[in-house]
Structure formats: C-alpha cells, structure tokens
Amino acid sequence: MDSLIRRVRILDPLNQRDQVGDVLIRDGIIQALGDSLESPGGGIRELDGQGCVLAPGLVDLYSQTGEPGYESRETLGQLLTVAAQGGFTRVGILPNTSPAVDSPAHVVQRLAAGGVGRPQILPWGAITLGTHGKQLTDLVELGAAGAVGWCDGQPLGNGLMVRRLLEYTQSQPWPMALWPSAGADGAGSHLGVCRDGADAVRLGLSALPATAETTPLAALIEEVATCGRPIHLMRISTARGVDLIRGAKARGLPITASVTWLHLLFSTADLDSYAPSLRLAPPLGTPEDRDALIMGLEDGTLDAIAVDHCAHTYEEKAVPFGIAPTGAIGLQLALPILWQTFVVTQRWTALQLWRYLSLNPAQCLNIATSAVQVEAPADLVLFDPGHQWTATAAALGCDPINTVYGHQIIQGQARHIWVPASLAVQ
C-alpha cells in the first residue's frame, strides 16, 4: 500500500530513533522521512498516524501451526491472519506437524503457503525425522531448500546425538535452536505442570524441578564450549537457567537465548484459577523465575522474546489443568499486552520492546534486520496502542479458551503491516 503517514511516532531500534514525523512509502520502499512532507499525489493514500507507532515489523522466532495434520486447531492461513493483526511481518514456524517438515519438499510446501502482503513464513526444518529424536534429517538439504534453520521444537534427550549434531554442522551457516529440557514425555509435554516451589505445594500441582532445565542446559553449554558451534537456546524458563547462560556468555561462547512472552507475564502465583490456557511447556516458573527472566532480557543475557503461539480446539483445552495440552495463542496478543505491561509502566522503553520483538529475533535467525530509513524496504507495522478490542472468538480467530485473556478488552492493535517481497531468508 503506497502511503504517506502523517505525525506518526517513528521507532527504529537499529538506528536508535524515536521521533515524530511523516513517512512516505511507495513501491515497497521508504522513500522519504521528514517533519512535514509534501504529498506527491498520484494516488498516495494519506494516513493520520497521530498517537500511533510506525516501526519495523515484528519477527517471531518460533510458533506452532496445526497445518498439516491438525487443521481443526488452526490452519497456517489463520495463523498468518492473526500474526498480521499482532504486527508480525515474519513468523518462524516449528516443524512438529503431521507430517513433520523433515524433507526439502516439505520446506518448499511451507514456503509456498505464504502470499503477497501477508507475513512471511520462516520455516524451521526438523533436526530429526518426524521430530522423534532418533535419526538425523539431511540438514544441509533442508537449509538449501529455504529452511530458516534447524529445530525439532522438542527436547533432544540423546547426548551423543547432540554432540554429533554440533560437530556435523560446525561449518554450516544455518541457526540451530535447541530446547534444554528433561522431565518431558515423547511429545514434549512436561510431566510436571508447574515449577517446583511453594505455589506447587499450595495448589496441589505436580511439580517439575528447575534441574529439569538446568541439567540439560549445562550439558549443552559444555558441548558448545568444546566444539564452538553457535546455538540458540529456546524456551528458557528458570532463574538458574538465566544464570548459566550469563556465565556462558561471559566466557565468550556463541550462544543466543529466548524466553516466551507468557513466562514474562505469569508465574506459579497466577495458577489459582487452574486456567488450562496457562498450562505451558515449559511450565510456568516461580515469581523469582519470572523476575530473573525479565532482568535477563534487560541485561542482555537473554536476547529475544518468542511467542510460541499454539492453538487447540475447545474440546482439547476444556479439561482440568493437569491434563490439558500445553500451549497458548499469542501472535495477536503479545505486542499490545507487553506494551501495556512494560512500556506504559515505564519499565521498558518502546525501543527496548521493539529490540526484543524485532531486531534481536532477526539477528538470532541470521536474517535481514529492518530499519525505518530512506531507501530501506518497507518492512513495517503501524501500531495503534490506544485502539481497544475485545478478545472474542471472531477477533482471536480461535476459541478464547486458548488464552487467559479471552473475552477481555485488549488495548492496542496493528492497523497495517507492509511486507516487501525483497525480504527473504539469507
């Protein structure tokens, strides 16, 4: 959409810009920035951006789709629609579908599911066949077919396989995301439903000790120290895990790490309602874990926020907390909720939030970073932090049981995204 956006707040974490001005977008390119631009005419649509934010499109490191195999939960098209609503222009999609994205043909099929003007799909290729953790896929062929990187979306419990994997891919450029987790079943669902602590005892919930994360995490760090292969650590959820990563980075190890948005907002202290939408993998941590995750982002120990969006049918999720499937939606909710929680309260600046949701995720994925500057591709979101909407089934694109925010009034929504065709996996 060719547009002249007037009086908009321009955020650009790459160039540390936070200012109000006009922006002209034409033919998918940012053509001009200024205090008061003259309209070029020629069918350019003028938008009043007062009170809104224009910033690089958000990048999600990893989310989950029901397609193929579980389209009743959510199709890939539905996921892309809610991603656009949430301001995401690029979305990493995990390969743990049925069938899994474990061959070049599956990667090509997933890439073809996108479309002009829609958020760009960044398909992860599976590390193991079927994401079952037993036999390695042809990783190089997956990367050559267009996979953004390699990830099973499940824990890899075989230490010898992990060692061989890191050695085999040492010279390859594609990122690899690994989930340090023990205490999970073969499908990645945790056998403990919340982190061990006083709240688990008070609520009578089966607990998972922090060592279920820190033991495999420590082993992964030592493997990286031995071979030097860069990795991304996904779904970090404990205070001790943050400490281990902080120490690894201090040693100069090539590690990046992410936390999901819900682990920054909730803890075991919020489980009194036993809401099935808060049954997550990894399970929610203690309040001390949550505080450490927030501080880990702020001091650079953790690099990015991931959404890890995951929809289920009403029948699947409308069960007791202890047996509910893990996962919750978030692509349509993460930006407005995080803005209200951290930016409005002045815990973070707007530039910080955009760094965690856009700039840093792109850097973790080794893909092009976006900027609001003249001659740059228009990879942008126009976000209205004052727009109110209700999280109904129609607005969310799925049953509200998939989120603790169901039926609530949400403040903030993307008005438009620009997705240039020139943005591609590098």
List the catalytic residues.
308
- List Cβ neighbours of 88 (8 Å cut-off, separation of 6 or more): 57, 58, 59, 60, 119, 307, 331, 381, 417
Residue with tokens 């202290």: 269
Give the span between the Cα atoms of 50 and 111, in whole angstroms.
36
Residue 93 bridge partners (DSSP)? 63, 123
- List Cβ neighbours of 104 (8 Å cut-off, separation of 6 or more): 138, 141, 142, 144, 145
Hey, what are 311's tokens? 């929809």
Give the span between the Cα atoms of 241 and 247, in whole angstroms.
10
Hey, what are 161's tokens? 């396989």
Phi, psi dihedrals of residue 167, rounded to the nearest 5°:
-65, -45
- Start-to-end Cα distance in the chain: 25
CB contact at 8 A, 285 and 213 = no
* E strand or H helix that includes residue 222: helix 211-227
What's 69's DSSP letter?
T
Give the span between the Cα atoms of 245 and 239, in whole angstroms.
10
CB contact at 8 A, 338 and 305 = yes
> Taking Cα atoms as reference points, which of 75, 11, 68, 87 lies closest to residue 330?
87
Beta strand spans in 49-148 (E): 53-56, 58-63, 88-93, 120-125
What's 309's DSSP letter?
B
Give the span between the Cα atoms of 371 and 367, in whole angstroms.
13
